[in-house]
Structure 1
Amino acid sequence: MTAAPAPAVDPVRSAELAQLGLSWQPSGQAALRGPLLRLAEECDRAFVTLAGIWQADEERHPASLPAERLQRVDYLRSFPHQATFAARLAPEEPNLDAFLDGPVLDEGGTIAVTELAPVSQVLTPAACYHVFSDHLGESFDGPRYLTTRNTCFRHERYYVPLRRLSSFTMREVVCLGTSAEIVDFLQRARAALDAFFELVDLPLEWLTATDPFFRPRANPRYIMQRVEPVKHEATYGGDLAIASINRHHDHFGVNFELTRGGEPTHSGCVAFGIERWLFAITDRHGTDPAGWPRLEDAATKVRSSLGGGRT
């Protein structure tokens, strides 16, 4: 089957985003400054405020994970088409000399690598993987709520400014607990997001989704996601997912040896793609920052209405 072509980029829209502070690279990466950078930071502060509904503890993690940790959940077999690796030249002096004796860069701008050192790190594909990895082997005596932000990396077939990027910013709120506690967390998160969307005037539709498995119909996890949906995306404009709610059951608990009362911990998360929020807000509310919604104020109202404390 022939893959669908990449959508055309609107030059007028691109020019507007550039004036707001977007510098776009063909590699699928974005640099932000000015109004867009300020809006991105306000988005993140709003999401942290929403995480305060559960008094979630903040964590900060590095840019990559050990491949052996990710492979605990079979990531490299499930998503080899999206994985991005942290690679470097083998450090032996003859290899470095050979690199220096070569062109270093070819005419197309590609690095003329010689021998590479063993590749053991994968650039972060989703912020929450670090949470499970860093708490490897821990036991919990109650529900645990955590929030983290990271730059995530995924190889895609094509890239569109702010909509589809090779590196992007993800804020997540994660709950570790019993099955019942995860259900409660995700239900409250759905209610919080619905209230937040209404306050900031972003019309969104919740759609059932599946993760982008490689050769999905041969992957049993894809089949299970179709039979029992565990991923729901808040979608703007019919096709742009700007947030998602995910139920993992005990998948991460089993594979990262996380326990509660002697049983594998269940988990769930809420994820926000910050660059996509920039697209949705500027598309819905225009390019004048004076017309953009007050995101932190809206998040504070939602947090207050839902109690702002752990259950």
Structure 2
Amino acid sequence: MTRTTSNTTGPDRLAALHRIGLSWQPAGQAALRGPLLRLAEDCDRAFVRLASLWDAEEERHPASLPAERLQQVGYLTSFPHQATFVARLSPEESNIDAFLAGPVMDADGRVELSGLSPVTEVLTPAACYHLYSGHQGEVLDQALYLTTRNTCFRQETHYVPLRRLSSFTMREIVCVGTAGETAAFLDEARTALDLFFGLIDLDLDWLAATDPFFRPEDNPRHLLQRVQPVKYEATYGGDLAIASVNRHHDHFGSGFGLTRDGRAADSCCAAFGLERWLFALTDRHGLDPTSWPALEDAATTVLTKLRGGAA
């Protein structure tokens, strides 16, 4: 049974979070320091520890992807409302002079742009896109297990401290392989996460979900996800997804030319939103760092139990 939680970030709670390290920007961004930053890093180390269950290889990627790469899997037509584009002034000296001759910024804080260079990059919308793009065209002779962390960017209608952000930190663990290999990964991930949740005394419900498509009623992929769920979210307090497991079938394998056993590879992932974890942990365990669970120790215990020996 799910515990009753506050599920809010009102002025009093926001002030308390500020005292332990949160600086909130109304544009939907959070800066962390002190205890909250240490808790975020503790979370990430625990997720990396869980990734070692599959010996997942760590990768590091930049802040943006080529728009043409994302469109290979239809991102811009499925999620145009959430995309954040990389824009710059066209570098001609006359264009820069025109920008400098203007007000540069109006009274409402909006930049008065002159001509822009062609937009070819999109800020990272989900950490795993880099993994599929980075391995484009590979022929796999065994399942590929990867993990990465990135700052992700999504436009939303509103923002709530630690719960809904325009830029946030995502850790992902990915499996690329056969349908059987990815199904096994998802089963193992759910088992590992359920053990982990219990060890840190965090009540979460797995709920079927769909991706936030633009005009979902007109998108065949949304309709298919409703009929055959491929996304399940670990939800805190009834409405806050802090982790998810996602089955992509061969969507990314086909889009990026990844093959396994002579056909387009399947893929799946487990994803964690670190800022949302900060909300859930401080809501459940309080704002005193001495009351927070030992996350990496819990992850190590999960590995020991699932491997049947020393982790």
Same structural fold, with TM-score higher than 0.5 when normalized by the shorter chain:
yes
Q: What is the aligned partner in structure 2 of residue 217 from structure 1?
A: 217
> Any stretches of 5+ residues in structure 2 without a counterpart?
1-6
Q: What is the aligned partner in structure 1 of residue 4 from structure 2?
A: none
Q: Secondary structure, in 3 states, of the residue corresponding to 1:73?
A: coil
Q: What is the aligned partner in structure 2 of residue 248 from structure 1?
A: 248
Q: Secondary structure, in 3 states, of the residue corresponding to 1:155?
A: coil
Distance 1:269 1:25 in 2: 30
Distance 2:237 2:60 in 1: 32
Distance 2:161 2:132 in 1: 31
RMSD after superposition: 1.2
Distance 2:275 2:92 in 1: 40
Q: Kindly provide the amino acid, as one letter, of the partner of residue 214 in structure 2.
A: F
Q: Secondary structure, in 3 states, of the residue corresponding to 1:50?
A: helix
Q: Kindly provide the amino acid, as one letter, of the partner of residue 22 in structure 2.
A: L
Q: What is the aligned partner in structure 1 of residue 307 from structure 2?
A: 307
1:125-136 alignment runs, 5 A limit: 125-136=125-136
TM-score (norm 2): 0.96
Distance 2:47 2:201 in 1: 16
8 Å CA contact retained: 1:40, 1:275: yes
Q: Kindly provide the amino acid, as one letter, of the partner of residue 187 in structure 1.
A: D
Q: Kindly provide the amino acid, as one letter, of the partner of residue 122 in structure 1.
A: V
Q: Kindly provide the amino acid, as one letter, of the partner of residue 84 in structure 1.
A: T
8 Å CA contact retained: 2:28, 2:166: yes
8 Å CA contact retained: 1:249, 1:266: yes
Q: Give the superposition deviation at 1:8.
A: 7.5
Distance 2:73 2:218 in 1: 16
Q: Give the superposition deviation at 1:308.
A: 8.6
Q: What is the aligned partner in structure 2 of residue 138 from structure 1?
A: 138
Distance 1:274 1:295 in 2: 13
Runs of 4+ displaced beyond 2 Å: none
Q: Secondary structure, in 3 states, of the residue corresponding to 1:306?
A: helix
Q: Kindly provide the amino acid, as one letter, of the partner of residue 220 in structure 1.
A: P
Q: What is the aligned partner in structure 2 of residue 96 from structure 1?
A: 96
1:153-192 alignment runs, 5 A limit: 153-192=153-192
Distance 2:100 2:135 in 1: 42
Q: Kindly provide the amino acid, as one letter, of the partner of residue 206 in structure 1.
A: W
8 Å CA contact retained: 1:53, 1:308: no
8 Å CA contact retained: 2:140, 2:259: yes
Distance 2:116 2:214 in 1: 26
Distance 2:149 2:303 in 1: 19
Q: Kindly provide the amino acid, as one letter, of the partner of residue 68 in structure 1.
A: E
Q: 1:8 to 1:182 in 2, by over 3 A?
A: closer
Number of residue-to-residue matches in the alignment: 303
Q: Kindly provide the amino acid, as one letter, of the partner of residue 196 in structure 1.
A: F
8 Å CA contact retained: 2:244, 2:271: yes
| Correspondence 1:270 to 2:270 | yes
Q: Kindly provide the amino acid, as one letter, of the partner of residue 275 in structure 1.
A: E
Q: What is the aligned partner in structure 2 of residue 19 from structure 1?
A: 19
8 Å CA contact retained: 1:55, 1:308: no
Q: What is the aligned partner in structure 2 of residue 4 from structure 1?
A: none
Q: 1:308 to 1:80 in 2, by over 3 A?
A: farther
> Any stretches of 5+ residues in structure 1 without a counterpart?
1-6
Seq. identity, %:
69
Q: Give the superposition deviation at 1:258.
A: 0.2
8 Å CA contact retained: 2:178, 2:261: no
1:54-79 CA-to-partner distances (Å, cap 9, x unmatched) read: 01000000000000000011111110
| Correspondence 1:298 to 2:303 | no
